[in-house]
Amino acid sequence: MKSFDVPIIYRSPLISAIKKKRKESDKMKKDYSPALLDFGPIQIFLARHFGFCYGVENAIEIAFRTVDENPGKRIFLLSEMIHNPQVNADLEAHGIQFLQDTYGKQLIPFETITKEDIVLIPAFGTTLLIEEKLRQIGIQTENYDTTCPFVEKVWNRSEVIAKENYTIIIHGKPKHEETRATFSHAAKNAPSVIVKDISEAKELAKYITGEKSKNDFYSEFKDQYSEGFDVEKDLVKIGVVNQTTMLASDTQEIANFLKQVMIEKYTSDDPADHFADTRDTLCYATNDNQTAVSGMLETQADLAIVVGGYNSSNTSHLVELCEEKLPTFFINNEGNILSENKILHHNFHTKEDLVTNNFLPEKDPVKILLTSGASCPDALVEGIITKLVSYYPTKNSIEDLILQFQ
């Protein structure tokens, strides 16, 4: 796989050594057990896969290269490049301005942009409406489009089944940038509707079976269906794709459920006549990171720490997985560890920041599971490791661990 020129400030000598060693010893990626960082009184188990993915590294490389190659030019980003506050702050520090916030709220009017300006499309992609607006201004986005290829893969899959007259069911968060972009591209080719979870999928199924009046659909799924959507005609043939950072198990549950609904409704027909085999459209990194967390959770530990942006979908799903097994703290940098007795962490369910006292148990050794989202720099993870071990009389240093993994 292609390697990218990512600023050194995001790299970590320790994490790089660990990832290199694991890759060499497990080229087929079959071992999902965590790497043990044994400091004596504190043991940290690092997930097999975590951190920057292909799409994120590609986006970061393009963004910083664009700054270097265009001194004096105004450079804009449609919205956050990725869901990591440090990276986005670094881009702003390099003079890049954001046109919209993460929810699509306009921060800088499109009317103030000229064809001489540069506009970067973030890794999530964007809607066809915004693409057209930029074209009308005269903005050339081809060299500054950082849309993740795995997001484009979903768009392509949607287009294929649309040509066979299937309606597109998108499993995703309706307000997320990627879901908005995927919905826009899907709706160009076929009737489309977004479901955010299995509960909404079950409600959608009631319109397929006729349990609910079609008129209720338009209020229940307000802002989640394409223009001109016809409940009676457009739910006869369906296929499921997803926002690439959703939980794999959730998407599979939705697809399996809706397929069974179609089989039971059209008993005498071939299931393929009513449900498209789209296969899973999650990106490789989301799959790897989620599987690695499942492997990590087989290790007996006292707590888990998940690092990433609080509006990062893929990171929140890693938190969900960990929360099922043990106390889990969702933080975005080492500064959230206030002391050996106190941690400031985020509850993504309620969107609240909480302080927990005595989060490190009084035992020897303390065992901690550690992972991060696909938009989190490795340097942040090393910073958290350094902060944690500073509270203990360790038998090994960070430098000793680097040598062990080389």
Could you say which of 3.90.380.10, 1.10.510.10, 3.40.50.11810, 3.40.1010.20 is the CATH number of the domain covering 8-53+284-404? 3.40.1010.20
Residue 72 pLDDT grade (very low, low, confident, very high; cuts 50, 70, 90): very high
Where does the pLDDT of residue 5 fall: very low under 50, low under 70, confident under 90, or very high at 90 and above? confident
CATH 3.40.50.11270 in the chain, residues?
Answer: 54-144
User: What tens digit of pLDDT does each residue of 244-302 get?
Assistant: 989 888 999 999 999 999 999 999 889 899 999 877 676 788 889 999 999 999 999 99
CA 236 – CA 293 distance, rounded (Å): 38
Active site residue 203: no
Strands of 328-331's sheet in order across: 35-38, 42-46, 366-372, 303-307, 328-331
3-state DSSP helix/strand/coil % of the chain, to nearest 5: 45, 15, 40
Q: Which of 99, 158, 151 is nearest to 313 (CA)?
A: 151
pLDDT value at 184 more than 90: yes
Report whether CATH 3.40.50.11270 matches the domain 54-144. Answer: yes
Which of 363 and 5 is assigned the larger pLDDT? Answer: 363
Pinpoint the residues of the chain covered by CATH 3.40.1010.20.
8-53+284-404, 149-273
pLDDT for residue 82 = 87
Question: 325: how many CB neighbours lie within 10 A of its CB?
Answer: 17
Nearest to 247 by CA among 293, 311, 306: 293
SS3 per residue for 56-98:
HHHHHHHHHHHHHHCCCCCEEECCCCCCCHHHHHHHHHCCCEE
Residue-level pLDDT at 296:
98
Question: Mean pLDDT of all residues in the chain?
Answer: 94
For residue 199, pLDDT beyond 90: yes
Catalytic residue among 178, 200, 320, 382: 178
Pairing of the two strands 75-77 and 97-98:
parallel
Structural contact between residues 83 and 309, judged by C-beta atoms closer than 8 angstroms: yes
Ranges of H-type helices in 235-283? 248-265
Q: At what angle do helices 54-69 and 149-162 cross, to 10 degrees?
A: 120
What share of the chain in percent tops pLDDT 90? 86
Whether residue 103 is predicted with pLDDT greater than 90 in this model: the reply is no
Q: Say what the pTM is.
A: 0.91
pLDDT in tens, 380-397: 999 999 999 999 998 888
Worst-scoring range by mean pLDDT, 2-6, 78-82, 285-289, 308-312?
A: 2-6
Second-level CATH architecture of 149-273: 3-Layer(aba) Sandwich (3.40)
Q: What is the pLDDT of residues 73-91, one digit of tens each?
A: 999 999 988 889 999 999 9
> Which pLDDT belongs to residue 1?
62
Q: How many CA atoms lie within 13 A of 270 on its CB side?
A: 4
